[in-house]
Chains A and B, each alone.
Chain A
Amino acid sequence: MENKIVKKVDLIFQECNADEVISIIEKTLQKSQDDVILEVIDSGLKGRGGAGFPTGLKWKFTKNEDNPVKYVICNADEGEPGTFKDREILDRVGYKILGGMTICGYAIGAKEGYIYLRGEYNFLLKKLQEQVDNFNKLLQNKNVDFKVFLKSGSGAYICGEESALFESMEGKRGEPRNKPPYPTVAGYNSKPTVINNVETLVYVTMILKMGAENFKQFGTHDSRGSKVFSVSGDTPIAGIYELELGMPLQDFVDDFGDGDTKAVQVGGASGHCVPRKQFKDTIIGFEGIPTGGSMMVFNSSRSMYNVLHDYLEFFTEESCGQCTPCRVGCQQLLLGIEAVKKGERKPAYLEELKKLASTMKVAAKCGLGQSVANPFNSIVDNFKEEIIY
């Protein structure tokens, strides 16, 4: 089945061997550091990991820090339920990731780059290490003062949070830090650090290859470019698709749904659940619902209670336990919906639980606890009957 409405794009997986990436880097090195950063800013590229911070600005802040030691880190700790695109990118176009890291290193003045790969993807290590070794040699031959290293995670969702990732790389428990200071000031080893998602770094290589103007042709004013989506659930064509940003969710459902789509969870477990009646008015992009690319499709045979229960179990297990709102909050939300389901609590108790989720949004230390309210409130609000009965 081929989708017809949503516009497909082919930038991320376009073949590009090591030599081609090196020639893009050579071309980039002829520009000044500021010009490279300006090009990335001008492209409108925003982080593709989910948070959507403007990539060029992140680079600019880091470049402005006066420190002889800086780092570039590729966040390959993809763990958001429903997200699997980084695995495919790492597997298919590794050199383009390394290219993006090198370009960033030059722009901000860093000499070392690290890829933090989640432990669940250890089967990719061998191939990636070969590519990294080969690439480092090529950089050395061209007298480019930048070297990439590989680090591996050990099964902790929270380490995808940037400051928890630094802690993990420093041999500690993956517990998020207080912010500020932000990574651009004090990241890995407390040095100024740019940390970008795998996909973001590939787009960097493509932007420097094709120019910011050409990249901006894709997407909308607020959501420049395209994005790799991980499509799963009740769809006949589950898989990985690079699509233009700014599409109405209805168009997506028309192409990818099975004709009986009840809801789409946009942005993984920590994202928003959009019910059928809102498909038409929901835009996938930074002007609507931003996403790390996870699109989980549910048809009318699915119980949204089970879906929410799964998500809450996930967060309860993956909460690092450091801050009370998240540690206790996740547990209580889970126990709470179980109690309502069993009739031990009145349906009105769901309103109390929503207040708890909202408290977590302001009181939790990091994005994990802060975002639990997204799935909780959107599922409870739109599928209250399924939670109660």
Chain B
Amino acid sequence: MSSTDSLIKTLVERHGKDRNSLMPILQGIVKEERYLSEEAMLTVAEELNLSAADVYGTASFYTFLDTTPRGKNIIRICKTISCHMQGKDEIIEAIEEALKIKVGETTHDKKFTLLTANCLGWCHKGPVMLVNDEVYPQVTTQSALEIIENYAKK
């Protein structure tokens, strides 16, 4: 059994085979693997007795349920108006420069994916950056790079 299969088995045991469990199960896979592979979605469909299209339909609707491979750490920079006004462009440029990737891309060593996000709910403390589930408000180009460096060491 592949590691994905056993992960899905554990998640199904924890959340149940109900349709209502689909989101927590998909979220559980993304938490471990950072994205939903075709294999993972097919296994979930089989386990919950849903059509594969149904599972893909749900997965592809949500920004945080990625269906393309992502890096170990996902960096999301808020791009909505308040963060825009507080200089999110400089933060993005600095990270692109440091990691040698563009928004939407993943580094060669698969450590980082850089994405933008719609309003993250920190408009009074922008620009804000999310790394995986952790939030970093009021980042500067310098502090953003330091935070990313710490993740690189992990």
A and B: interacting chains: yes
A residues with CB within 8 A of B: 78-84, 86-87, 118-123, 125, 151-157, 168-175, 189, 230-234, 238-240, 269, 294, 296, 302, 306-307, 310-311, 314, 317-318, 320
Q: Assuming A156-B63, A171-B22, is B58 touching A311 (CB within 8 A)? A: no
B122: chain A residues at CB < 8 Å are 84, 87
CB nearest neighbor in B for A82:
B123
Do A123 and B120 have beta carbons less than 8 Å apart? no
Do A87 and B84 have beta carbons less than 8 Å apart? no
Do A83 and B61 have beta carbons less than 8 Å apart? no
With A171-B58, A302-B85 known, 15 other A-B pairs at CB within 8 A are: A80-B119, A81-B80, A82-B119, A120-B117, A152-B23, A155-B65, A171-B23, A174-B62, A233-B82, A233-B123, A234-B85, A238-B124, A296-B81, A310-B84, A314-B118
CB nearest neighbor in A for B84:
A310
Do B23 and A157 have beta carbons less than 8 Å apart? no
Q: Show 29 residue pairs from A and B whose CB-CB distance is below 8 angstroms, ordered by the A residue.
A: A78-B121, A81-B81, A81-B82, A82-B119, A83-B121, A83-B123, A119-B62, A120-B121, A125-B133, A153-B62, A154-B23, A154-B27, A154-B65, A171-B20, A171-B58, A172-B19, A172-B58, A174-B61, A174-B62, A175-B61, A231-B124, A232-B82, A232-B126, A234-B85, A296-B81, A296-B123, A310-B84, A314-B118, A317-B118
A47–B21 Cα gap in the complex (Å)?
Answer: 29
Q: Assuming A84-B123, A155-B64, A296-B123, is B80 touching A310 (CB within 8 A)? A: yes
Q: B99 near A: Cβ within 8 Å?
A: no
Scan B39-81; emit 1 where CB is below 8 A from any A CB, else 0: 0000000000000000001100111110000000000000011
Do A310 and B123 have beta carbons less than 8 Å apart? no
Do A168 and B23 have beta carbons less than 8 Å apart? yes
B121: chain A residues at CB < 8 Å are 78-79, 83-84, 86-87, 118, 120-121
Do A81 and B22 have beta carbons less than 8 Å apart? no
Q: B101 near A: Cβ within 8 Å?
A: no
Do B118 and A318 have beta carbons less than 8 Å apart? yes
Do B82 and A157 have beta carbons less than 8 Å apart? no
A154–B20 Cα gap in the complex (Å)?
Answer: 14
Do B134 and A269 have beta carbons less than 8 Å apart? no
Closest 10 CB pairs of A and B: A171-B22, A155-B63, A232-B123, A238-B124, A154-B62, A155-B64, A154-B64, A173-B61, A122-B133, A81-B119
Residue tally, chain B, CB below 8 Å to A: 36
A307–B82 Cα gap in the complex (Å)?
Answer: 10
Do B133 and A123 have beta carbons less than 8 Å apart? yes
CB nearest neighbor in B for A156:
B62
B133: chain A residues at CB < 8 Å are 122-123, 125
Q: Assuming A174-B61, A174-B62, A232-B82, is B119 touching A314 (CB within 8 A)? A: yes
Closest chain-B Cβ to A175's Cβ sits at a distance in Å of 8
A120: chain B residues at CB < 8 Å are 117, 120-121, 130
A238–B125 Cα gap in the complex (Å)?
Answer: 8
Question: Which residue from B63, B65, B81, B125 sits with its C-beta under 8 Å from A310?
Answer: B81
Do A155 and B85 have beta carbons less than 8 Å apart? no
A240: chain B residues at CB < 8 Å are 124
Q: B98 near A: Cβ within 8 Å?
A: no
B65: chain A residues at CB < 8 Å are 154-155
Closest chain-A Cβ to B88's Cβ sits at a distance in Å of 11
Q: B24 near A: Cβ within 8 Å?
A: yes
A152: chain B residues at CB < 8 Å are 23-24, 27
A231–B22 Cα gap in the complex (Å)?
Answer: 37
Do A238 and B123 have beta carbons less than 8 Å apart? yes
Question: Which residue from A82, A125, A173, A238 sits with its C-beta under 8 Å from B81?
Answer: A82
Q: B135 near A: Cβ within 8 Å?
A: yes
B82: chain A residues at CB < 8 Å are 81-82, 232-233, 296
Closest chain-B Cβ to A173's Cβ sits at a distance in Å of 4
A201–B63 Cα gap in the complex (Å)?
Answer: 28
Closest chain-B Cβ to A387's Cβ sits at a distance in Å of 16
